[in-house]
Structure 1
Amino acid sequence: MTADGPTILATSGGIRPGRRTRWEFSELTEHALELAGVSDRAPRICFLATASGDNPTAITGLYEAAMLRGLHASHLTSFGMPNVEDPAAHLLEQDVIWVLGGSVAGLLALWRLHGYDRALERAWRAGVVLTGVSAGSICWHRGGTTDSFGPDLQPVTNGLGLLPWSNGVHYDSEEQRRPLFQSLVQDGTLPTGYATDDGVGLLYRGTELVEALTEEDDKAAYHVEAGEEAAVETRLDTRRL
């Protein structure tokens, strides 16, 4: 069972510190699982922790979160070598593909090196739900702002482009994010796009945004476009999960 069309839930959330484990999945990831429409078995979820350098501790933490939720979990690595014989086939077998944050620049380079970019597009078109946090949100878009190159944020403009928009993450929690994202949209470095406060996600069907969702009170998503003299930011209606 997969979603009834290409579906992406791009977030600045979906995971929180666990009570007994490092992490637990929160409402945004739960919603991604619901979108996959699985009812008669444990949902299949594949983790890509490329942006963290395939950090074993992070991968273990994700497996623990999956175990608590009763998911059938797997992961796909880039470092060393791919850990499955046929990565493209493995991704097509999933209900949800979940991408961890970290270096979006490194993630994009390695995915293209291994052909994961093409495999992920195939999975998306087949109805596998794509989701993730931070770098795992920007990657599906044309680009966004990143600390991949250092503490002073810079633009990344070579996202997978499954979505024709730019993407701003951690919009309310990292002081450089909002002004830089707006200036990059205004000067044309990035196209018109959408940004999320921490705990907020953007649900796309195909390439169109259909809903903004939040797992925290008083948080929102925003549409950002170039204006005559400065970028125009519009707060979107955001549904509380």
Structure 2
Amino acid sequence: MKLMFKILILSLFFFTITFGQVAVKDIDKTIFVYGGDFNKVFINYVVGLTKKPHPKILFIPTGAADNANYINNWYSNCAELPFIPYVLRTFINSSPKQKTFEEQILECDAVIVGGGNTLNMLAVWRAQGIDTVLRKAYERGIILAGGSAGSLCWFISGSTDSRPKELSFVEGLSFLNYSHSPHYHSEPTRQPLYHNAILTGKLKPGYACDDRSGLLFINGVVKKSVSQNVDNNNYFVSVVDGKIREELLPAEIIKE
């Protein structure tokens, strides 16, 4: 009897381990990035990605230093959309009534990161441990999204206007194994800087998005290119035979 009991326990243990591995593998890890121009169309697209009737969506405005007007704009854009909006503020004072950053992030169905200063935003996240929590959210299948600083943060590295005088480069969270350029054709210096950085090896090959276009990544791979109009596009930029190759990614037009 004791032997049979031990066999049963071991069988249950290995079944649990195996089942757990299968369950983890079955969770799709999703990131939606767009070049910029935070608006209802992209917010509504994220709502659809959750596949829930009234999802909880958390806005993170760290890049704009929790600017009150930016937060008000978030709530204004949310007014007629079918979800429950929240905001994660990082410029705060302690209070027993507040939830931790981890509780706020992991209780939601999707996270949308706003624009602003990418370098400062990432520094705050790393100091507060938010980067680690976002990785946990990603692994759990919580949708991650954002534009400008909110798109650049998910990649290995890319161009940023976070420093004085000129564009420079910043290291992201590396959830996506590519470089990135937001605002690709919206700002005249973005495209040539990105091309040169990839050509010289300063940046890995990667994805560039115009302001009103975006890319959906599932498990680290692009699954869909979308745009709000025919004038804004997404691109994959790489080096082939010593020259830059800019590949246009045909986009599905999306509307609110």
* 232 and 81 in structure 1: CA distance in 2 versus 1, 3 angstrom threshold: farther
Q: What is the CA deviation profile of residues 45-93 of structure 1, one whole-angstrom value per residue up to 9, with x for unaligned ones?
A: 1111000011111112112222232431111122234784321122111
Match of 1:114 in 2: 128
User: After the TM superposition, which residues 1-241 of structure 1 pair with which residues of structure 2 at under 5 Å, given as runs?
Assistant: 5-13=28-36, 15-16=38-39, 25-26=40-41, 28-39=42-53, 42-81=54-93, 84-156=98-170, 158-241=171-254
Report SS of the residue matched to 1:165.
strand
| Structure 1: segments with no counterpart, 5+ residues | 17-24
Amino acid paired to 1:5:
D
Larger helix proportion, structure 1 or 2? Answer: 2
Distance 1:182 1:33 in 2: 33
- Using structure 1 for the length normalisation, give the TM-score: 0.89
Could you tell me whether the CA contact under 8 Å between 2:113 and 2:150 is conserved in 1?
A: yes
Distance 2:176 2:65 in 1: 25
Q: What is the CA deviation profile of residues 5-54 of structure 1, one whole-angstrom value per residue up to 9, with x for unaligned ones?
A: 110001124634xxxxxxxx12x221211110102xx2211111000011
Report SS of the residue matched to 1:131.
strand
**Pairwise CA distance, 1:214:** 0.6
Amino acid paired to 2:186:
S
Runs of 4+ residues deviating >6 angstroms: none
Distance 2:244 2:65 in 1: 34
Could you tell me whether the CA contact under 8 Å between 2:112 and 2:144 is conserved in 1?
A: yes
Distance 1:121 1:162 in 2: 8
| Structure 2: segments with no counterpart, 5+ residues | 1-25
CA RMSD of aligned residues (A): 1.8
**Pairwise CA distance, 1:116:** 0.5
* 14 and 97 in structure 1: CA distance in 2 versus 1, 3 angstrom threshold: farther
Distance 1:101 1:82 in 2: 25
Choose 1 or 2 for highest CA Rg. Answer: 2
**Pairwise CA distance, 1:150:** 2.3
Distance 1:56 1:31 in 2: 24
Report SS of the residue matched to 1:90.
helix
Q: What is the CA deviation profile of residues 142-185 of structure 1, one whole-angstrom value per residue up to 9, with x for unaligned ones?
A: 111111002411111x2000001111111111001001011111
Q: Identity over the aligned pairs, expressed in percent?
A: 30
Amino acid paired to 1:126:
R
Amino acid paired to 2:44:
E
Could you tell me whether the CA contact under 8 Å between 1:44 and 1:72 is conserved in 2?
A: yes
Amino acid paired to 1:69:
L
- Using structure 2 for the length normalisation, give the TM-score: 0.84
Could you tell me whether the CA contact under 8 Å between 1:142 and 1:165 is conserved in 2?
A: yes
Could you tell me whether the CA contact under 8 Å between 2:47 and 2:83 is conserved in 1?
A: no
Amino acid paired to 2:62:
T
